[in-house]
Amino acid sequence: MEEMDPGNALYFPFFALLVGCLLLVLFQDRSPLPYTVVLMLLGILVAVASYHFDLGSISHSIDLWVHVDPPEILLYVFLPPLLYESAFGSDWFVFRRLLPSILVLAFLLVFFNVAVVGLLTTYIIPAEWGDVDSQSRLIANFLVAAILSSTDPVAVVALLKEAGAPMQVRTLIEGESLLNDASAFVLFEVLLEVMNPTVQTPSVLSALTHCARLSVGGVAVGVAFGVLCALLLSCTNDTVTEISIALFGMYLGYYIAQSMGYSGVLSVVIFGLMMCALGASYISPTSLEPKHRFMEQLGFTANTVIFMYSGLIVAYFALKFGSRLTTYDYIYAIVWYLILNCIRALGLFVLSPLLRR
């Protein structure tokens, strides 16, 4: 059996970064499609090419990434910088003023979406789950609904910046995305725990208890690391040291929260918001701009790799299970894309009285 070079694992992420840089250099915002969408489409093309032709080390690297084990390692590597960059890059004073509206969108709207999508896919437009009981089908539908309820505002915010939209609008959209990532992920973990076959009789009380544990624990870990890092930052004015403190805070906070059974996503979000709020007091003025630039670079790299990887995964499963997909499945997916947008619009309409306050 041919031995695979362990260095092959590095080809794909740096190839994705090269493709991302070429896109930005060649098109320079002239593409009619958002950067992340183009990356995903290119990921699909690369996966199809790798499936039909031998691309050498690139194909080996793609194979390693598609079959990464355990897959959770991707969350541990890419989620902390993405979440922290978004939280730390917020305008804290605008964020604080808009916090009630952000909470309505990030929590109530997410719960509304999950409830409506879950019930629709169970009773009105049923999804096929094979030979499973009705309770498992309902939970599985809510699980998928939780996955579909978070938003990615990168392209929208970029367009708003170009159009000169007010900071309040951009902060509201970014703040909702940041916190609904946390709320949707907590819901996902709760529902995943309820689906666990070792849980004999899942109840509403046990689900709420697990949700409270994830949320309160995640917030506590985030606050603890925020306080610790603030104390360390107050003792130094060195730029490299201050950036390193943020790095260990977001990664170690995520790891510890997850290992304790809490929400790592929520811990990083809270930690990032604390650093954003305390930045002017604890981060030296000479370090603030370099730190923002460094975090932007981390976020750009993670986004580039993740969206191209998403294209790879979509193409891989389409090629592997394509024979099982029918025309109905493709129509079903398109219809649900439209329905999801309508449900979100309905949720915004229902919650609009709370947003006007």
Chain centroid to Cα 101, Å, comes to 21
Tokens describing residue 338:
């439209």
Rounded Cα distance between 116 and 133, Å, is 20
Q: Report how far residue 219's alpha carbon sits from residue 213's, in angstroms, rounded to the nearest whole number.
A: 10
- Quickly tell me which residue has 């499973």 as its tokens: 132
pLDDT at 249: 93
Report the alpha-carbon distance of residue 132 to residue 67 in Å, rounded. 27
pLDDT of 1: 40
Predicted TM-score (pTM) of the model is 0.85
- CA dist 233 and 276 (Å) reads 13
Each of the 357 residues of the chain gets a pLDDT tens digit; together they read 445 667 778 888 999 999 999 988 887 667 777 788 889 999 999 988 888 888 788 888 888 888 888 888 998 999 899 889 888 888 888 888 888 888 898 889 999 999 999 888 887 766 666 666 677 788 888 888 888 888 776 666 666 665 666 778 878 888 888 888 888 888 888 888 777 766 556 666 777 787 888 888 999 999 999 999 999 988 888 889 999 999 999 999 999 999 998 988 889 999 999 988 887 677 888 888 888 899 989 988 998 999 999 999 988 888 877 777 778 878 888 888 899 899 999 999 998 888 766
| CA atoms within 13 A of residue 74's CA, in its CB half-sphere | 18
Which pLDDT value is given to residue 197?
Answer: 64
First to last CA, the chain: 66
Q: What is the pLDDT of residue 169?
A: 80
Domains and CATH numbers, the chain: 6-355 (1.20.1530.20)
In this prediction, residue 324 carries a pLDDT of 75
pLDDT at 278: 80
161-168: which pairs have CB atoms within 8 A and are 24 or more residues apart? 162/29, 167/91, 167/94, 168/94, 168/97, 168/98
Taking the CA of residue 81 as centre, how many other CA atoms within 13 Å lie in the half-sphere pointing to its CB? Answer: 22
- Give yes or no for a contact between 175 and 96, defined as CB atoms under 8 angstroms apart: no
